[in-house]
Amino acid sequence: MNDVAIKATNLVKKFGDFVAVDHLSFEVNKGEIFGFLGPNGAGKTTTIRMLCTLSSPTEGSATVAGFDIAHQGNRVREHIGLVSEKMIMYDRLTAHENLRLFGELYDIPRDALRERIDELLQVVNMEKWADHQIGTFSTGMKQRINVIRALLNEPEILFLDEPTLGLDPQSTNEIRDFARSINDDAGTTIILTTHAMAEADMLCDRISIVDYGKIVALDTPSNLKKVITGADTNVIELNVPNITQTLVSDIQSLSCTQTVTVEDETHIRVHASGDEACDNVIDTVRSGAGQIRSIHNVEPTLEDVFLYLTGHKVREQVADKVTTKEPSSRHGASVRSRIR
């Protein structure tokens, strides 16, 4: 119990009839970077809000930093920091004033607070901007302040809700490095939600893949990827100059094929199982009068893992042509299949 930072038991959150979080149970160990990976609407933010005591669960319970979220709310809040999707700052106050305002909510003695603010501003290279109004900052700068605001009380657990969403590449990298360094130096447990696979892959010790309010898989990134290879599935990248619907359905109809995804005008990604999967696919393309510019048997990414486990892509919005068969066997995780 002492090594567990968060323990959630059957958390449920309903908004009217809509079930946003569907009986989530998991444990987060102290000092680990734990990720929630999933599409928009999967219930990630709702779960975070419950753990931060901003929202009360419809059913279920959880302890954060050893305190019950329903009955020991104030104690929970003393030990957490929240970097939410929204900027928690007042535009008309300066960076310093904002930090002081929020810092004072935590009963930090004035001198210690001032030191801490200066220290944190330096770490994110914002000391020169301490006395400028936040409203004048760029998004990247605001996010840096947003992040250090959450660290004022030296929390045991830091919640990062889509911290790099909408940021320029430089700020994105900085935030990611920063997160890693907090974890390395101070041993802060970090809960990260994201729908950027690469981010989860590079930062997290363990990832839980969530879809429609349920945890579809929970493991280390490498173990998750082995789910695909372990099930003897290959991920094949094809570069085909002209992709036609016929071609796609031809590949689809192969018995070895699990999913076919058209990435863009010239790239197809196929999940297929079996030793002859590659050959079969090549033959099919050739016979369909298609040329193959290149073909790779690639390492599965988390995107592939997600697709494999849930039967759909993370970003459904764009008209990615995904054709799938009913999932046959799944390795270890339970999946709800859905008709889209």
Tokens of 82: 């929240």
Instruction: Determine contact, residues 272/254, Cβ cutoff 8 Å.
Output: yes
Q: How far is the CB of 190 from another protein (least distance, A)?
A: 16
User: Which residue's CB is nearer to another protein, number 53 or number 280?
Assistant: 53
Contact mark string toward another protein, 76..115, x via CB under 8 A: -xx-x-x-xxxxxxx-----------x--xxx--------
User: Which residue's CB is nearer to another protein, number 96 or number 269?
Assistant: 96
- Cα distances (Å, whole numbers) of residue 8 to 62, 65, 217, 310: 4, 11, 15, 23
Q: How far is the CB of 303 from another protein (least distance, A)?
A: 29
Q: Which amino acid is at 80?
A: I
How far is 140 from 280, CA to CA, in rounded Å? Answer: 48
Q: How far is the CB of 289 from another protein (least distance, A)?
A: 55
| Using rule CB under 8 A, residue 164 touches another protein | no
Instruction: Determine contact, residues 74/243, Cβ cutoff 8 Å.
Output: no
User: Which residue's CB is nearer to another protein, number 84 or number 208?
Assistant: 84
Contact mark string toward another protein, 118..157, x via CB under 8 A: -------------------------------x--------
> Residue 56: which of 68, 65, 66 has the closest Cα?
68
* Gap between the terminal Cα atoms of the chain: 42
- Position among 11, 24, 53, 60 found at the interface with another protein (CB under 8 A): 53
Tokens of 164: 């790099």
Q: How far is the CB of 153 from another protein (least distance, A)?
A: 8
Instruction: Determine contact, residues 185/31, Cβ cutoff 8 Å.
Output: no
Contact residues for another protein, defined by CB under 8 A:
15, 52-56, 74-75, 77-78, 80, 82, 84-90, 102, 105-107, 149
